Amino acid sequence: MLLAAIPAVFVAVLAATISPVFRTTHMGPIALGVIAYVWMLEAVYLACRPHWLDRLIGLPYLYVMHGVLGTLALVLAALHRMALPAYALVRLTGGISYTLLFLGVLLALVLMARPIAELVPPVARLRAWLARALSHETSVWLHRILLLAVVFAWVHFHLIFYIVRARPFIVMADAATLFVLVSYVLDRIGRRTWAWHGVVTDCRPVAPGVAELAVRVGPSASGSGPDWEEGDFTFIRFPKVRGMREYHPFSIINAPDDAASVDTASTDTADGDSDGKAVTVRFAIRADGDFTRRLPQVARIGERVDLLPPFGRYRRFLDEHDGDRPIVMYAGGIGITPLLPLAFSYGERRRRRIILMYSASDADGLLYRDELEAWRRRTGNTLILKAGRFSPDELRRAVTPEAVYLIAGPASMNRAVRRMLRGSGVRMADICYEPFAF
């Protein structure tokens, strides 16, 4: 839909209403420019993280599509520039838009496309150097130059007389542009007005380089308390700490039923006194970047934290499959965090048969080992822990007839497990993983 169907509608409307002379002589290069602009609009819309689409296909895939659209838009924009001459302000605005798009895509590929860095060592080294030079907050702001590219592209085609005369196309393009920009503005406003507000109640080390953060979140202005699903993740920020005011994604390690409720009638939340209940949201966060490395120093008791309403597909995936099918979970390192509440909830409360295979680079990296061992004893489910990687044969032994499969861990582990499952005859429809390559 995003790559072909929606852009095709814009091209068809323009082809039907543009002057026959230009339709005959320049329609090919013009169509390339139209498609590139539509892809830019779609990339901006996906950057708004629409919840309805996240629950349908998953936010990580939205980000992948966001990157694909931006990169392909750059390619078509380059072909459009080479094939169709322009002059004066038309050339200037088009050139500015193209340059901004080029810079935006380049920065995104280096700073934000983790899978590329994992596959190309020089990109990984450049990414590591830039990560030290630029904070997460700065890199996010630099990424927003895509908005400026859209604005200059909009001005660019409004300066072309034969495009402006195609009134149905102009109305459609302006309506789409307005919709996307309004969606972006509402998303930015919503990140402040619809966010959950909480305070830090605890921040303690649980493993070398890993801290557990506990945040007490009060009810919203409407009186409803925060709610999420097992396996969800959310974006958090510290609004009063310089350099940590941009949202950063982390998995929630406790299920909603395990969130300790506190009567807030006599308890101050981030927004002051409030009637109702507050809940504790917990995270296990590994120190990977500038944001996470500063966490132990920043997350002092009482420090304010903002959280976005949660995202995630794991629970939805399980709900979409038969309720009595076995569940096989493959976790690696910090990847246990989204699977932990799912294992506890589905293995204990819902009495599902679960096989959990969990590995880490060393024994200290196996998070919540005692809790997992206690869960195994209570439920009788299968728990296999290992310091170091599982071999393909060990992974294959967990393949179970009629099971569904959840994967969470490093990209290399995700690829290896998926390849093994596909080779064992497991359908892709029975596999769920969320590649956190934001």
Q: Report the pLDDT value the prediction gives residue 222, as an integer from 0 to 100.
A: 47
* Residue type at 267 in one-letter notation: T
Q: Is 187 helix (H, G, I), strand (E, B) or coil?
A: helix
What's the CATH number where 268 sits? 2.40.30.10
Q: Pick from 157, 192, 227: which residue ends a domain?
A: 192
Q: Give the torsion sign (CA, 305, 308, 313, 319).
A: positive
146 and 237, same domain (yes or no): no
Residue 438 lies in a domain: no
The pLDDT value recorded for residue 354 is 94
CB contact at 8 A, 85 and 343: no
Closest C-alpha to 281, from 316, 250, 311: 250
Report the C-alpha dihedral over residues 69, 72, 73, 74, rounded to 10 degrees. 130
387 and 239 together in one domain: no
Rounded CA-CA distance 411/72 in Å is: 24
What pLDDT, on the 0 to 100 scale, is given for residue 30? 96
pLDDT score, position 90: 94
* Same domain flag for 97 and 117: yes
- Of 273, 307, 341, which residue constitutes the final position of a domain? 307
429 in the same domain as 288 = no
298 and 392, same structural domain? no
Q: Enter the tokens of residue 7.
A: 């852009």
249-to-34, 70, 212, 233 alpha-carbon distances in Å? 34, 22, 14, 7
Q: Tell me the residue range of the domain where 279 lies.
A: 194-307
The token duo for 215 is 């945040």
Query: Whole-angstrom Cα distance, residue 173 to residue 328?
Result: 47
Q: Going residue by residue through the chain (438 aa), what tens digit of pLDDT does each one get?
A: 999 999 999 999 999 999 999 999 999 999 999 999 999 999 999 988 898 898 888 888 888 898 899 999 999 999 999 999 889 999 999 999 999 999 888 877 766 656 565 666 676 666 666 665 565 556 666 667 889 999 999 999 999 999 999 999 999 999 999 999 999 999 888 877 788 899 999 999 998 889 999 999 976 554 556 789 999 999 999 999 887 888 889 999 998 877 554 444 334 444 444 445 788 999 999 988 778 888 888 899 999 999 998 999 999 999 888 778 999 999 999 999 999 999 999 988 778 899 999 999 999 899 999 999 999 999 999 999 999 999 989 999 999 999 999 999 988 888 899 999 999 999 999 999 987 654
Distance CA 391, CA 374 (A): 26
- Residue 278 and residue 215 share a domain: yes
- Burial 101-114, CB ≥16 within 10 A → b, else e: bebbbebbbbbbbb
Domain boundary among 278, 307, 336: 307
Question: Residue 155: what residue type?
Answer: V
Task: Give residue 260's pLDDT.
Answer: 53
Tell whether the torsion through CA atoms of 82, 86, 90 and 95 is positive or negative.
Answer: positive
Q: Tell me how far apart the alpha carbons of residues 420 and 411 are, in angstroms, rounded to a whole number.
A: 14
Beta-strand ranges (E) seen in 227-351 are 233-237, 248-251, 262-263, 268-269, 272-273, 277-286, 304-307, 327-332
pLDDT of residue 430: 94
Measured distance CA(151)–CA(132) in Å, rounded: 31
Nearest to 213 by CA among 241, 234, 192, 190: 234
Question: Which has the closest alpha carbon to 271: 196, 164, 339?
Answer: 196
Residues 205, 162: one domain? Answer: no
Give yes or no for a contact between 426 and 399, defined as CB atoms under 8 angstroms apart. Answer: yes
Phi, psi of 356 (to 5 degrees): -115, 115
Number of domains in the chain: 3
Q: Are residues 31 and 129 in the same domain?
A: yes
Q: Are 105 and 70 in contact (CB under 8 A)?
A: yes
Read off the tokens for 10: 């814009």
Residues 256 and 375 in one domain: no
The reply to whether 165 and 245 lie within a common domain is no
Indicate whether 15 and 134 sit together in one domain: yes
Let me know whether 301 and 397 are in one domain: no
- Per the rule left: phi > 0, alpha: psi between -120 and 50, beta: everything else, 351 is left
Measured on CA atoms in the order 178, 180, 184, 190, is the torsion positive or negative?
Answer: positive
